[in-house]
Amino acid sequence: MQNPEEIKRIVREKYAQIARQSKATNEKSCCGAGGCDDSIDYTIFSDDYSGMEGYVAEADLGLGCGLPTEYARIRPGDTVVDLGSGAGNDCFVARALTGPEGKVIGIDMTEAMIEKARTNARKLGFSNVTFRLGEIEDMPLNDNCADVVISNCVLNLVPDKRQAFAEIYRILKPGGHFSISDVVTRGALPAGLQQAAEMYAGCVAGAIDIDDYLAIIRAAGFEDVHVQKEKEVRLPDELLSKYLTAAEVEEWKNSNRGIYSITVFGRKPATDDCCQPGSGCC
């Protein structure tokens, strides 16, 4: 297991490569991570954005695992922060909801992604959508500045999830909320699938059990924490058969264990009293 800084270095290098790839390549290479059999279509994580208002095809790299903006309750005039904003896809969809009177800020730690997103924003003429280079565990944003935080298949890549959600709590205004799509597990993966999971490094590396994930969110101080959408990620039989026996494949497919994409909601208390984690007044 690499240390946190090594994990971040690997993620930066990988996503710099992804920024230069097409959506079709990313969808066929396990969330852009590479290492998959090109004869198999592995478009199993991403959802279809194309019918959503504000969708920009050039900004869609096919790397998401949900549609967080669909559930984010974004209102006109809101300030929205997108964590791991990539080429800007979710930011531009959020901008259609917050309107020209609102503000959307994308945070990404990969310079190539920031450059791509800024180029897309300039082409669209959006003056109220900006992108900042930074890490989710230490965001370049002031306290209590966001009405809504969104993120799409990124938090699973963050080594310190407790610190990430502490930062989300810090930047949200009292009463603000988040809607985050991410990858989690339910139960232990079969030993034979551990290597296969590594092939999905862009989507599964760092994913933790759903109960532990929700516990971290609640421990950060959020209330009304609940899963808005859940979708099982079904690994193709062609892939399963490479790592499991026929009997193990059947057992896996009929069990309650697996890999899931979820969209989860949480709200920062409207009264940010001294006893709330992250309030900074104790």
- Number of Cβ atoms within 10 Å of the Cβ of 75: 13
Specify the pLDDT at position 15: 67
Q: Which DSSP string corresponds to 203-234? A: HHTT--BHHHHHHHHHHTT-EEEEEEEEEEE-
pLDDT in tens, 64-105: 888 999 999 999 999 999 999 999 999 999 999 999 999 999
The correct answer on CATH 1.10.3720.10 for the domain covering 4-267 is: no
- The domain segmentation of the chain, as residue ranges, is 4-267
Specify the pLDDT at position 22: 53
pLDDT band at 193 (very low <50, low <70, confident <90, very high): confident
Q: How is the chain split among helix, strand and coil, in percent rounded to 5?
A: 35, 20, 40
Q: Which one, of 30, 32, 28, 38, lies nearest residue 18 by Cα?
A: 32
The verdict on pTM exceeding 0.85 is no
Specify the pLDDT at position 18: 67
pLDDT band at 1 (very low <50, low <70, confident <90, very high): very low
> Tokens in use for 203?
């989507």
Across residues 215-224, what is the average pLDDT?
98
Query: CB neighbours of 238 closer than 8 A, spacing ≥ 6?
Result: 37, 40
> Tokens in use for 60?
């869609």
